[in-house]
Amino acid sequence: MQTPPKLIHGDKIAIIATARKISQIEIKPAVELLNKWGFETVFGRNLFREYNQFAGTDKERAEDLQWALDDENIKAILIARGGYGTVKIIDTIDFANFVQKPKWIIGYSDVSVLHLHIHKNFSIETLHATMPINFPENGTENKSLASLKKAINEESLTYSFPSQPLNREGETEGILIGGNLSIIYSLAATNSDINTDGKILFIEDLDEYLYHIDRMMTNLKRSGKLANLAGLIVGGMTEMNDNTVPYGKTAEEIVAEAVAEYSYPVCFQFSAGHIAENNALILGRNVKLVVAKHECILDFDKSQDSDKSIKTLFKLSKGIILAISGFFIFIYILLKLINYLLS
């Protein structure tokens, strides 16, 4: 997949809202911190509009997203918050300029619509990371923000975290995709539907009934989206709900049961999603996942080195092939010349 350019000091970051409404007060800590990091923040014209629960009408939210994608002076797009609504505008967006000049799209939760649509249709990396609504009011840089800063600055990004009883050990490499489980489920059979074959899938969710988690995992299994994974990473399964008659399993147990017949590595409780420590994930990036007895490692760097080595080897091989071809062409011409002189 294609990697958007690294952000540099002075770059413009657009803040827009594709779903739920947000206020100037709620966004202030993000603006102050991004400015402190050396970036210039610009707002979508409709950012603070209100239409019921949304940040403006579908048309207004789409206008802001289209503007942010098309404006060449904007180097990254930070979605203000999640909620619901991105799916209502995705089919009205023209990604032609974005494909020609990619930029980082940052967010999680409902922003998974953008992640999945872009990966499926354009093969461009995006950032599953914290959003302005989550920036601490006191301006401190927590772990979520530290990981976001590393990602946009293309610094080394590797996570190590404790193993869990439900984990399945193993090592694997593959392109990291995914996002919010409910969004993945809702995009089935659309132009934004996820392709999981040979990929490492990340899932997380919030405020769902346990039987809903089972329904969604069963859907992924029946549609073949779990069978050919390279690996599975389960993030926060936060504030799950149950009925009066208990479902009898946790969200993690439901997920583990859905993938029990497969053999790829699986890890639980990775710190990403609707939780306090929401680590940045470069979706679309080839990563290495190690699930060991006591520790798990998610490495965004070694796989990149591997990719660079493969690209270098390819260029070298191409050069050798061209050189050999040139040599044989020279011999052919030389023989033709000798034959002409002797005749």
DSSP states of 161-227 as a string? EE--TT-B-EEEEEEEEEEEHHHHHHTTTSTT----TTPEEEEEEES-BHHHHHHHHHHHHHTTTTT
How confident is the model at residue 306, as a pLDDT? 47
242 in Cβ contact with 274 (< 8 Å): no
> What's the Cα-to-Cα distance from 57 to each of 26, 54, 112, 246, rounded to whole Å?
20, 7, 20, 40
How confident is the model at residue 175, as a pLDDT? 98
DSSP 34-82: HHHTTPEEEE-TTTT--BTTBSS-HHHHHHHHHHHHH-TTEEEEEE---
Residue 83 has pLDDT above 90, yes or no: yes
How confident is the model at residue 330, as a pLDDT? 73
Residue 317 has pLDDT above 90, yes or no: no
d(C-alpha 4, C-alpha 1), whole Å: 10
Residue 133 has pLDDT above 50, yes or no: yes
How confident is the model at residue 319, as a pLDDT? 62
Lowest mean pLDDT among 1-10, 204-213, 327-336: 327-336
* CATH class given for the domain over 1-153: alpha beta
Which residue bears the tokens 């707002």? 43
Name which of 68, 55, 52 is nearest 18 in CA terms: 55
Q: Whole-prediction pTM value?
A: 0.87
Query: Where in the chain are the domains?
Result: 1-153, 156-300, 313-343
Q: Residues 163, 165, 168, 170: is their CA dihedral positive or negative? A: positive
Residue 260 has pLDDT above 90, yes or no: yes
d(C-alpha 35, C-alpha 309), whole Å: 36
274 in Cβ contact with 167 (< 8 Å): no
DSSP 130-172: --GGGS-TT----HHHHHHHHHHTT---EEEEE--TT-B-EEE
Question: Average pLDDT for residues 316-328, to the nearest whole number?
Answer: 66
pLDDT per residue as tens digits for the range 287-306:
999 999 999 999 998 544 44
CATH T-level topology, domain 156-300: Glucose Oxidase; domain 1 (3.50.30)
Beta-sheet pairing, 266-267 with 74-79: unpaired
First to last CA, the chain: 57
Better pLDDT: 1 or 316: 1
